[in-house]
Every structure is written in C-alpha cells, then in structure tokens.
Amino acid sequence: MKWITRERPKIDRIACPWLIRKCIDPEAEFIFVPFDQVLLEAELLNATPFDVPNVELTHYGDKCTFDALLEKYGIEDDALQIMAGIVRGADTDRHDFAPEAAGLWAISAGLAYNIKDDHALLEQGMVIYDALYSWATHLYRSKHLQTPFEDLLVSAMQKALERNPTRRKPAWAIALKEMIQDQIDTQLSLKDISKELDINPAYLSREFSKYFENVSYGDYIRKLRIEKALDLLENSDHTLTEIAYLTGFSDQSHFTRIFKKIIGVNPSLYRKTKK
C-alpha cells in the first residue's frame, strides 16, 4: 500500500511511517512530495495521505498524526502510548507533554540537517524509533544512574551547584521573563530588550536558550503567543483578528500562518473542534 505526505520529514512524518510499518502495513511504500502536491499525487497514485490538513490522518486538537493512527487502527500498546506523548510534544513544540520530547526534537532536527534525501532520512529515523520503542517497552522505569556511588556523586554535585550562586538563574533572565509575560502582546525586539536590560544583544541572543526551555528567543515568544491564543480560542468569543492583536501578531494572516505551522490546523478549524 502507498502512503504519501509532505517532503522533508522530521518528527511526525518519520514516527508515523515507523508505526505504519510496525503495526499496520509491513510492506508500506512511502512517498514524499511538496506540500501543495500531496492531495493531487495521492489521488493519482491511489496513496493514503497523512500529516497534511484536511485529511483523516492528521493533527487534531493537541494531538498529532501518530495519535490519529493509534486511534484509527485501535492499536493498544503501553509502550506506543508512552511514545505518543513524546512524539506529540516534540512535533508540536510542547515539551511539557513529556520530558523526552525536547531530546527527540533535537535528534530529529539534527538528523534532517545532516541528511537531505528524504528516503535515506526515513531509514535512519526508523532506527531511532526502534530504539525509542525498546526503551519504552523495557527501560521506561530505569534510570541512567544505577549504582549508589553514581547517585552519591550526582547528589554532591547538585548540592555544590546550589551553594554556588553563579550557577543560579541570573537576574537579567528573571527580569526578562517578567518583561515578556507583561508585554507578550507587543512587538518585543531583542534589540529593544537588550537596551532595556543594559545587556549586549549578542550575549543575550547567545545565552537566552540556557534559561528559556532550550529554544531561541523567537521560538520562545511564538510558543507563548500560541499558548495564549489557544486559551482565547477555547474560552472567549474574540474574533481571529482580535486574538491576533491580543497575542502580539502583526495581523490575522500572520497569526494564522504561525498557528497552523505549530498546531497543524488553522485557528478557525481548531476553534470548531473545541466547541
């Protein structure tokens, strides 16, 4: 059976083929094409489209296509449910879903950066998900530190770091977090923030990710704005234009584009699924 999706896979579009071959269609053939050609090629090739808007197997709510496959095919496996949370968190930039999500995103992004051929990338990615499945099946409750000596060493290091004030979050990071929370609906440029905090902008740009969820300044701001937008879509009657304004986007078009990129569906469709 043929399956088709967008080119340049990273997370969901590698996790899903792995799941399809493992649990649904062992002989599956995967086709990668430009975004705007997926549905046309799916019809021409009699292939099942996935992880694109307006098809059955795609993102829904805060779930991703991996979740949709598990649900549609009634796959019950505790290890796959553990993996689903990790894939979902990595693919939607919601690393609060699972602590391993940030690591999966980093590995997937690096793999895609190194390998430009989509099918070669898929085959290498399959190895990652085989390993993740083995971990979720057999090692989920295990810790890397297995000996009393290792535990004692780490405990001593943690106490030493706690006593060393230079290792704590710097004052500028605390002030910056408050500034962002207070002004998330405004256009906060890194240059303006650097001036306000009296910090070199190059230093701020370099150090930002260390104290803000291991993401860049721009990605962090977009994440907070989308989180606020999700709340407004679910719990208010504001129009999309009003929500775009309230969350600091330049206009509704910009808001819709970023929202769809991160969540997988446009804001109006997301709101319908929540009503």
Give the per-residue pLDDT at 61. Answer: 86
Q: Does the pLDDT value for residue 11 go beyond 80?
A: yes
Give the per-residue pLDDT at 208. Answer: 86
Average pLDDT over residues 180-197: 76
Give the per-residue pLDDT at 176. Answer: 84
Nearest by Cα to 229 from 268, 190, 193, 180:
268
Average pLDDT over residues 125-144: 89
Give the per-residue pLDDT at 245. Answer: 85
Mean pLDDT of the chain: 87
Q: Model confidence over 43-79: pLDDT tens digits? A: 999 999 999 999 999 999 889 999 999 999 999 999 9
Give the residues across from 6 on adjacent strands. Answer: 33
Long-range contacts of 32-41 (CB under 8 A, 24+ apart): 32/4, 32/5, 32/6, 32/7, 32/8, 32/118, 32/119, 33/4, 33/6, 33/7, 34/6, 34/7, 35/6, 35/7, 38/4, 38/5, 38/6, 41/4
- For residue 206, the one-letter residue type is R
Give the per-residue pLDDT at 7. Answer: 95
Query: Is-above-0.75 flag for pTM?
Result: no
Q: Which domains does the chain have, with CATH numbers?
A: 2-139 (no CATH), 148-214 (no CATH), 218-274 (1.10.10.60)
| Band (166; pLDDT cuts 50, 70, 90) | very low
- For residue 181, the one-letter residue type is Q
Give the per-residue pLDDT at 145. Answer: 56
71-94 burial code (b ≥16 CB/10 A, e <16): eeeeeebeebebbbbbbbbbbbbb
**Length in residues, the chain:** 275
CB 205 within 8 A of CB 217: yes
